[in-house]
Structure 1
Amino acid sequence: MNKSQKIAQSFSPAAFIHDTEENYQAIEKLIRADEIGGLTFFHSRHSAAANFEKRAEVLDVTETFEKMIGLINRYQEISKIPLLISIDGEYGLAMRVEKTPQYPFAITLGALKNDAEIWIEEVGYRIGMDMKRSGIHLNLAPCADVNTNPNNPVIGYRSFGNNPEKVAKLAFAAYSGMKKAGIGACLKHFPGHGDTEVDSHLGLPILNKTKAELQTEELFPFQYGIDRGVEMIMVGHLAVPALTGGKDIPASISQELITDLLKGEMGFKGLVISDALNMKAVANLYPEPGELEWQAFHAGNDILCFSDHVKEGIEKIAQNSSDAEVDAVFERVMDLKKRLGVLETRPIEVPTFDWERHSKLQKDLAENYISVISGKIDSVEIQELAKAGKLGYQEFFSSGKSHFAQKLEIPFSSVEQAEKVILTVFVPSHKPLNQFGMEQTVLDEIKELAKSKPCFLVHFGNPLALKHLGKLEDFEAVVCAYQGFEEVQGVAAKTLQGL
């Protein structure tokens, strides 16, 4: 293989499941003409930098899963060296693909009360098996970010929590589960995206902390993973001036951060993968096509994710890099492909999912993480109030998702007549934008209701949204259920009934 062919193995541009035939053929050209090493699958161009929200409203999303498998087979068939297929599926294929198993968010798993590492490794394993059977070799997960900033617009629910030691253990457990399933995984977003207030999809976050502070918080989970043999780390698009001689340079293109700190000082021996190179934090820095790809490669990235300028990138890297540099990276990428069984790739049949088994896991997990986080639940009193016609019920933002009232199986009176009221809140969005999608008028209504009579709040969704519901002490009790899955609603109902 010549130098350009070796460099091409580092490229993993985006492949969109819902796209035009013209764009599918453009990917085929990258495979045939440029001989790229891999593809990173996304749902659609509309949602490439977003997570699984509101897609059905704007797109024809029929048979997303079947389409993806068809495309994987189509692209693999024409590639000289089998492609490394990756996806960003932090909570499973469902993060990108409808009608596939969705697992709890990291913030939810971070609330597990018993045997958290064992359960999270099992979740990682299940996610990994879903992917492996679907022709995917690498999951760009889990997040090892410590979410110390509650206003973080991009991490939040994607982090296992705000304690560095806990995040380190749980992220490694998720990684280990995926590895056990026979797929690749990576800790991200080095050096730690948890204490930022800018979304790196839109701009450059700058983390102004000393090196000592970073070592006790942000860097801790990565060092923990490195010490235990983690084989891949994704570098984020955030600037950490204390580690780059005062410069506001994104970590993803910083030699000081990747080569000197991560590979040198911290002793990382595995592969480094860049965060998506189309993200505004870096994409706007180098207007000349190919220059960003060269900067990322030169900084120490082995795999370049979501490059918009593959051909020019390969040419720039070929012009500027030594044969020895290229050979070293090529060997690491090919070794990864061998380890993950990429080179033995065969056409994939569309797999079926064991939904009953998945449902049981959801229920078992919910029994472990649902918590009464404020006040007390007197289930006998709830039953007696219901029998006397003095228990009210009202739900907010449910939009057809709620089975909770049926699962309680008790009669309710009107809120006006009730002595006490059960309030359920189904948080519309797991991201903090616009108060997690909750309208202020409705939030005011909830707060007023909590002050006017004793209320039990059952919160289905991101716990970071609780701050918008007023003081927790205004409610007689608060049950945090974290997710809106039907199984979770059943377990939350039993929590109120004392079962």
Structure 2
Amino acid sequence: MNLTLREKVSQFFLPAAFIHDSEENYQALEDLIRKENIGGLTFFHSRHSAAANFEKRAEALTYSGTLEKMIGLINRYQQVAKTPLLISIDAEYGLAMRIENTPQYPFAISLGALQTDAITKVEEVGFRMGKDLKSAGIHLNFAPCADVNTNPDNPVIGYRSFGDKVEKVADLALANYQGMKRAGIGACLKHFPGHGDTAVDSHLGLPVLQKSRAELDAEELAPFKKGIANGVEMIMVGHLAVPALTNGKDIPASISSEIITDLLKKEMGFTGLVVSDALNMKAVANLFPTPGELELKAFEAGNDLLCFSDHVEDGIEKIASSVDPKKIEQVFEKVMELKKRLGVLDFEVLDVPEFDWKSHSAFQSHLASDYVKVIQGDLNTFQLNSLAKIKKLAHRTFFGKSPSLFSELLNKHFNQKLEENSIEDSEMVLISAFIPSHKPLNIFGMKDAILEEIKKIAKSKPTILVHFGNPLALRHFGELKDFHTVICAYQGFEETQREVAKLFS
């Protein structure tokens, strides 16, 4: 492929493409593709959603026709590209993470709770997600997380991790990666060297991980070592400082040659592609006021692909004029090899995909039947049926819409509206809690007064708590031993609600 040095550098850039945007912005991105011959695009729902972390907003966005718009934009942008574009997305739990009305899969934390054949099932999740993405014109998914979530207060990983056990995270992250690869798309392990034990959101500031090298080897680095040993072809580096790896300096890993070149590439033997986490994140963006300096620093440190740069043209100029052409040529060859491997160079106009919702729902039920579990006490269905017959069993739904599918299924089983039974007169109370947010900000979106009400009920009556949501939120319900029974359902999917309801029949 006959490209100038500058055009070769352009192939390292994957700026953001927003699906819901103005025509003016669409045209500006088209102009950038034409002018600079950039390597690819990373799709986001909208500028509003991409900014949610920065501004502590989490509004539900309801723009319509998102999938159709994205397919139209991919076709439009590919048609003006001199070199076909690598289309990427961050879709850890499927297209639904960015695009409404597309298949959603369980969060990593839910998959980490699978009790049988977890590796096989998580590989199948990766495969199905990968097929969905490929049908929508996506070549590369920036997933899964290989972070070991040992800090329950972690504001940014949490539900995105397969758990707090090193071996489980290593096995399941690799399985998920391999499933996507089997589907014919690219994937990557992230956030090297490990973002699980941090307490700062790197979208907002710089997390610093104060651990010794021995501790890092035993925990954070282990899933990445397993991935490298099993041929993982891409790793994303996070925006977190790890002084033990940088001679005591608080420098973000994403711009540290000690971490990327010396540790990851030389010491750990990783020969695949290194991609930066989003370069607009505050942990690094605030360090370089001169446009293009951050991009140059990230490339010099050892990143091969530069994701979500806000200063593409300045970055291209800085790298093209400052870096040894031999290094540029080496990275360019790696990027083009990736494009060939993922079929990027064989672009054909896309149609809007149709999903097999029946198969997806059956698969969701299959997974839910294995991760839903009683984690405290037991469930005596004979006792519950006896209490219901004399109207001494009450049910209340908190945080979620009422009636929920779960409550309707319960009422059908017990042949009465349990919500109408008095808590005061009941001998047992059933509480279903639909946790509003999977992120810990503002107590996972729960109100203190409602939590206090739930705790009060649990202390006054034998109470069964059904927790639909991130299990890390359970610690806000007081002492779990105050509840007669606690069922952790992990997700609020309809299929999950049906599986929980089966426990009562």
For Structure 1 versus Structure 2, the TM-score category normalised by the shorter chain is over 0.9
Q: Is the 8 A contact 1:401 1:484 kept in 2?
A: no
Partner residue of 2:342 out of 340, 343, 350: 340
- Aligned letter for 1:422? L
Q: Is the 8 A contact 2:52 2:58 kept in 1?
A: no
Q: Matched residues in 2 for 1:282 and 1:97: separation?
A: 28
Identify the residue that residue 499 of structure 2 maps to in structure 1: 491
User: 1:63-78 counterparts in 2 under 5 A?
Assistant: 63-78=65-80
Question: Which digits, 9 at most, give the CA deviation of each residue in 1:217-271, with x for residues without a partner?
Answer: 0000000000000000000000000000111100000000000000010010100
Q: Matched residues in 2 for 1:487 and 1:142: separation?
A: 23
Identify the residue that residue 455 of structure 1 maps to in structure 2: 463
Give the TM-score, by structure 1 length.
0.98
User: 1:345-424 counterparts in 2 under 5 A?
Assistant: 345-399=347-401, 402-408=404-410, 409=412, 410=414, 411=416, 412=418, 413-424=421-432
Q: Matched residues in 2 for 1:477 and 1:7: separation?
A: 59
Give the TM-score, by structure 2 length.
0.97
Q: Matched residues in 2 for 1:141 and 1:420: separation?
A: 43
- Aligned letter for 2:263? L
SS in 2 for 1:421: strand
Asked if residue 10 in structure 1 is aligned to residue 12 in structure 2, the reply is yes
SS in 1 for 2:504: helix
Question: Which digits, 9 at most, give the CA deviation of each residue in 1:364-407, with x for residues without a partner?
Answer: 00000001000011011111111121110001001358211111
Identify the residue that residue 330 of structure 1 maps to in structure 2: 332
Runs of 4+ residues deviating >3 angstroms = 53-57
Identify the residue that residue 213 of structure 2 maps to in structure 1: 211
Task: Give identity over the alignment, percent.
Answer: 65
Q: Could you tell which deviates more after superposition, 145-154 or 402-411?
A: 402-411
Closer, same or farther in 2 for the Cα pair 1:150/1:87, shift >3 Å? same
SS in 1 for 2:227: helix
Q: Matched residues in 1 for 2:296 and 2:196: separation?
A: 27
SS in 2 for 1:153: coil
Q: Matched residues in 2 for 1:66 and 1:156: separation?
A: 31
User: 1:472-487 counterparts in 2 under 5 A?
Assistant: 472-487=480-495
Partner residue of 2:321 out of 319, 322, 338: 319
Q: Matched residues in 2 for 1:436 and 1:317: separation?
A: 42
Question: Which digits, 9 at most, give the CA deviation of each residue in 1:265-295, with x for residues without a partner?
Answer: 0010100000000000000001000000000
Unaligned runs of 5+ in 2: none
Q: Matched residues in 2 for 1:180 and 1:388: separation?
A: 55
Q: Matched residues in 1 for 2:305 and 2:322: separation?
A: 17
Q: Is the 8 A contact 1:43 1:97 kept in 2?
A: yes
Q: CA deviation at 1:414?
A: 2.3
Identify the residue that residue 103 of structure 2 maps to in structure 1: 101
Q: Is the 8 A contact 2:467 2:486 kept in 1?
A: yes
User: 1:88-487 counterparts in 2 under 5 A?
Assistant: 88-399=90-401, 402-408=404-410, 409=412, 410=414, 411=416, 412=418, 413-487=421-495
Unaligned runs of 5+ in 1: none
Q: Matched residues in 2 for 1:135 and 1:257: separation?
A: 33
RMSD: 1.2
SS in 2 for 1:24: helix
SS in 2 for 1:496: coil
Q: Matched residues in 1 for 2:382 and 2:498: separation?
A: 18
- Aligned letter for 2:144? P
Aligned length: 495
Q: Is the 8 A contact 2:237 2:275 kept in 1?
A: yes
